[in-house]
Amino acid sequence: QVHMVESGGGVVQPGRSLRLSCAASGFSFSDYAMHWVRQAPGKGLEWVALIAFNGKSESYADSVKGRFTISRDNSKNTVYLQMDSLRHEDTAVYYCARVSNVDGDYGDFDYWGQGTLVTVSS
């Protein structure tokens, strides 16, 4: 069955960097666009970034553009989120999510990881 596991979260000081990973299994990873969605403590869901199935296109929320970079390694069934110049407001649980439709960058998310908590604090 489909399974996605995020890792790499932790406590980091403002201005520092962190790289999140999402390891996927149970489906043909290279066929699907992948997204990162975050949720600040007690708040709602916020879309962060997407990467196309082949890694050739990316898109970012304005709140992270220029600071975060999404990438993927289809040979390792893994998607990454490089987070630089972190701010207090980036504190959140970060989820990776799979788009349900094979041939699109955007869509509904039929599978989510369990999330990894990033805390930006001095």
Partner 1 sequence: SYELTQPPSVSVSPGQTATITCSGDKLENKYTCWYRQKPGQSPVLVMYQDSKRPSGIPERFSGSNSGNTATLTITETQPIDEADYYCQAWDTSTVFGGGTKLTVL
Residue closer to partner 1, measured from CB, 83 or 99: 99
Angle at 108 between CA 102 and CA 109, to 5 degrees: 85
Q: Which of 46, 52, 91, 117 binds partner 1 (CB under 8 A)?
A: 46
100 near partner 1 (CB under 8 A): yes
- Residue pair 102/32 in contact (Cβ under 8 Å)? The answer is yes
Q: Which of 58, 112, 117, 119 binds partner 1 (CB under 8 A)?
A: 112
Binding piece for partner 1, criterion CB under 8 A, among 14-22, 71-79, 84-92, 103-111: 103-111
Quick one: which of 14, 36, 37 has its CA closest to 89?
A: 14
Residue closer to partner 1, measured from CB, 78 or 116: 116
Q: How far is the CB of 97 from partner 1 (least distance, A)?
A: 8
Burial label, 99 (beta-carbon count in 10 A; 0-12, 13-18, 19+) = buried
107 near partner 1 (CB under 8 A): yes
In angstroms, the CA 15 to CA 34 distance is 26
